[in-house]
Amino acid sequence: MSKQNWKPGTMIYPLPAIMVSSGASPEEYNVFTASWVGTICSDPAMCYVSIRPERHSYEIIKRNMEFTLNLTTEELARATDWCGVRSGRDYNKFKEMNITPVKGVKVSSPYIDESPISIECRVKEIIPLGTHHMFIADVLNVIADERFIDAETGAFDMKQANLLAYCHGQYFKIGEAIGKFGWSVKKK
């Protein structure tokens, strides 16, 4: 098998396609799309989002030190893409995409009502890295749409939610499960 060496780049895919909402009041509410986002720690629950300083939401999040990560779905695919290529300086993205901002529970930032999972976050630290600055945050609250919660187990059904993934410039549906965590070592 032959392999090539490429210059350093961002080839860790797939990633979640997330709509990040921010703002302390309806007048400054904004949402943008990001995939440079992820889990940092389980206990305490922590995550990050990396944002370019020139983005409209950058200053809003830096000022308020809060944001909400909203998972996206096939139904939100157009809004997810549109909110990633339009600026909140020029558009009210909630209005333009007909998505509903709901005042946060533990943070001032709104969450997106149509999102199956919204994760409310408070910024602990901002680390300048180059083109992006990493906003490291504590997870304060998770808002789960009851439509996707299994009544018997109380577990969230990710497959039923039809979540989106981002991979090298394209959006994908999440496919069929091929195993459960630990299946490779499970005793028969």
Average pLDDT over residues 14-19: 96
How many domains is the chain partitioned into structurally? Answer: 1
Q: Which residues, in sequence order, are CB contacts of 141 under 8 Å at separation 6+? A: 104, 105, 106, 107, 119, 120
Q: Is residue 61 part of a domain?
A: yes
Q: Is residue 58 part of a domain?
A: yes
Whether residue 34 has pLDDT greater than 90: yes
**Count of residues making up the chain:** 188
Whether residue 188 has pLDDT greater than 80: no
pTM over 0.85? The answer is: yes
Neighbours of 113 (CB within 10 A): 14
- pLDDT on residue 121: 98
Tokens, residue 88: 């909140």
Whether residue 96 has pLDDT greater than 80: yes
- pLDDT on residue 177: 82
Q: Is residue 5 part of a domain?
A: no
Q: Which residues, in sequence order, are CB contacts of 107 under 8 Å at separation 6+? A: 66, 67, 68, 120, 121, 122, 140, 141
- pLDDT on residue 10: 86
Confidence of residue 52 (pLDDT cuts 50, 70, 90): very high
Q: Is residue 115 part of a domain?
A: yes
Q: Which residues, in sequence order, are CB contacts of 94 under 8 Å at separation 6+? A: 29, 31, 100, 101, 110
**Which domain does 133 fall in, by range?**
15-148+155-185
Q: Is residue 168 part of a domain?
A: yes
Q: Is residue 136 part of a domain?
A: yes
- pLDDT on residue 183: 86
Whether residue 57 has pLDDT greater than 80: yes
For the chain, the straight-line distance linking the first and the last C-alpha, in angstroms and rounded, comes to 35
The amino acid present at 84, given as its one-letter code, is: G
Question: Please, are residues 101 and 83 in contact by the beta-carbon 8 Å criterion?
Answer: no
Q: Is residue 110 part of a domain?
A: yes
Return the CATH number at 177: 2.30.110.10
Q: Which residues, in sequence order, are CB contacts of 16 under 8 Å at separation 6+? A: 35, 37, 38, 71, 72, 163, 164, 165, 166
Question: E strand or H helix at 50, and its extent?
Answer: strand 46-51
Confidence of residue 42 (pLDDT cuts 50, 70, 90): very high
Q: Is residue 2 part of a domain?
A: no
Distances in Å between the alpha carbon of 155 and those of 24, 40, 71, 99, 158? 31, 22, 16, 26, 9
